[in-house]
Chain A
Amino acid sequence: MTDTATRGDTDAVVTARRAVIDESGWGATFRVIQPRNFTFWVMVFLFVSGAALTFQGYRAAAEAYTESFAQGFTWYTLFALVFLWLFHRLDRYSSIPAKAKVVAFLFSGLVSTFAMAAINNDAFRSILAKTISLDFMLTWSAGATAPWSEEIVKMLPVVLLIGLAPRVMRCAFDGFIIGAISGLAFQVFESVSYVYGTAAANFGQAEYGTNVLFIRTVLSTGHWTWSALCGAGLVYLIGRPAEAPRRGFGIALILWAMFLHWFWDSITGITGGASWAIGLYLPLTIVCVGSFIWVYRHTVVKERAWAQALLAAEVDRGVITADELEASVGTRKQRKHFVRSQPNHRRTKHVLEATNDLADEIAKAYALDTPDVEHARAEIARLRG
């Protein structure tokens, strides 16, 4: 690196890149242990109480309904891994550190599910039974309780991470991803208890739990889609450094997610328990996933713009071409189209992936030309062949 005039970036480029990095929080690290952070101590307290409750419940269930508990636990561990991988793939640019995602997952699963929602749900449903009637409670209480009781506590991991890692949680897309992870965690921890709970209702016979496991896997597009909407909605509602508040839109997203949750939980009541009601879950699933995709597309635009701004100077340097940049920060469709247009598909895919790596390294190096950044550039050249 002797010739700074030709090889190094100019101050203007570095300044521009740092503006992007500062705004996006790209490359920000995440530390779990932060003694000066108030939210950290609250998290420790809630983790202890939530984990104790969860393990108590799970341990008793594992002893009383061993087979059913083992089935549920094993299946939903795999289920969670598949979805976490999927959400990781969606979080391509300025991605949230893995450690932060793990904290969000565990907080939702251990604290939101059993130390908050389960207790509040039981108490509120009991109040409905006592003040209105047992029949009303049986038919309508799930819909009257879960949408607010559960959606609110599933948004807490977003609040937690804003407290623990304000530089990581910069825009609505971050809320969207953490919300999805939180909803997934809630779903799998809850589903394990539904599996052994159904076995319990049938005197501990595991095969009845297996039926529920199957049904809840087919109908599994609830919690993570609603929570992703709520997570993005919460960031729009309160605003973040890179996301000016859009309060009306934020509230609308949260209410829409709660409405979908209400409808999902009230299908039996609405249809009077008719057998054809099961058919309603199909259009409802399409609406839930459709809403998820719509909010993803809406929020990811900002992340793509950051990636574009961070990598633009690499085109001037000749590291990547303008087309490669466009594809790398484009939609899945644009990437596919670009890859197909190139003679060597495999090689092109690798170059695009390496371009993402380069963006990560530039962000980590705070826009300086470190050996890591140079290495990332060299990798692109090597992969191009």
Chain B
Amino acid sequence: MTEPAETTGGASTTTLPPPRRDDWVPADERVAGFDRRTIWPGVVLLVVWALWAHVMPWINDQIEVDNPIVAGDVVNLGFGEVTFVPTVGWQLESGVLLTEGNEEAATIPGAARLSSDVVSYSAKSGNWDGTAEELADQMIDVNENLDLLLAKDEQGRSAITNADGVAGEIVYIAGVDQAALIATYVFERPDGPADIGVEIEVVGTPEKLEDLVEEIASMIETTTYRPASQEANS
């Protein structure tokens, strides 16, 4: 602020206090050259930042996931209609298990993530009007843009079918340290806003994926869509 010249005023300013200086830091208000009065707000900002961005994530890292799948568990990916049977012993990191009377706990879109050792298995359902192959392409595209998959080279594709005989697509992608499987299904839903797509991503080292191939294949195969009305009729 440029201070006005005192002479321009009508008042005789000799008896008035001098105009303030916003930018002046008195010598006795300095600590290590900083304005003492500006230290506490800065400290508050730093403390909250440290707690929010570092301490809480650290606490979270100290707590192990202890939510193992037991026999009979079914993962609910939407309205209790899109489900899969997870492998016993894997850890459920996120997602909802199917419980009677609470099927709507997971709506569409819905997602779940399981892990075993260093392999992660994520499945998600969502609205999709297109083929399983198109869904696989779309998700490879999105993942590349997000840099989520460390693997990049597509090694091969094949058609798969689930337990109900619905056809899907599986893509194997290899990288230097990590390999990934992307499996997709599209389930027809005549009365819904769109068909339901399910996409499964399995990421781990190539050796581990190979070791666990049967467990993974079983989860992919048991991924089904069974509308409540259909179940009632059958």
Contact = CB atoms under 8 A, between A and B. Distances in A.
Contacts, number: 194
Interface size class of B (residues with CB under 8 A): 35 or more
Contact of B59 (A7, A41, A127, A162): A127
Contact of A166 (B1, B37, B94): B37
A2 to B, nearest CB: 10
Nearest to A368: B9
Contact of A36 (B9, B13, B33): B33
Interface string A94-123: 000000000000000001000111011011
Interface stretch (B49-57, B161-169, B170-178): B49-57
Nearest to A63: B145
* Secondary structure dominating the interface of A: helix
Counting chain A CB atoms within 10 Å of each CB, the highest count among B20, B37, B38 belongs to B38
B45 A39 contact: yes
A23 interface: no
A51 interface: no
Given A60-B146, A116-B48, A368-B4, A202 B126 contact: yes
Interface size class of A (residues with CB under 8 A): 35 or more
Interface string B1-42: 101101011111101110110110100001001110111111
A285 interface: no
Interface string A353-385: 000000000001110111110000000000000
B4 A365 contact: yes
A9 interface: yes
A122 B49 CA distance: 15
Contacts of B1: 27-29, 364
B142 interface: yes
A80 interface: no
Nearest to A9: B11
Interface string A251-291: 00000000000000000000001000000000000000000
Contact of A200 (B3, B13, B37, B142): B142
Interface string B101-114: 00011000101000
Interface in A62-96: 63-65
Given A36-B34, A42-B46, A371-B8, A18 B16 contact: yes
B199 interface: yes
Interface stretch (B61-69, B151-159, B209-217, B222-230): B61-69
Contacts of A37: 34-35, 38
16 contacts: A9-B9, A43-B42, A64-B142, A119-B56, A119-B57, A127-B60, A135-B105, A152-B48, A156-B45, A159-B44, A163-B40, A164-B41, A203-B135, A205-B126, A366-B3, A366-B20
Interface of B: 1, 3-4, 6, 8-13, 15-17, 19-20, 22-23, 25, 30, 33-35, 37-46, 48-49, 51-53, 56-57, 59-60, 63-67, 92, 94-97, 104-105, 109, 111, 124, 126-128, 135, 138-139, 141-142, 145-147, 197, 199
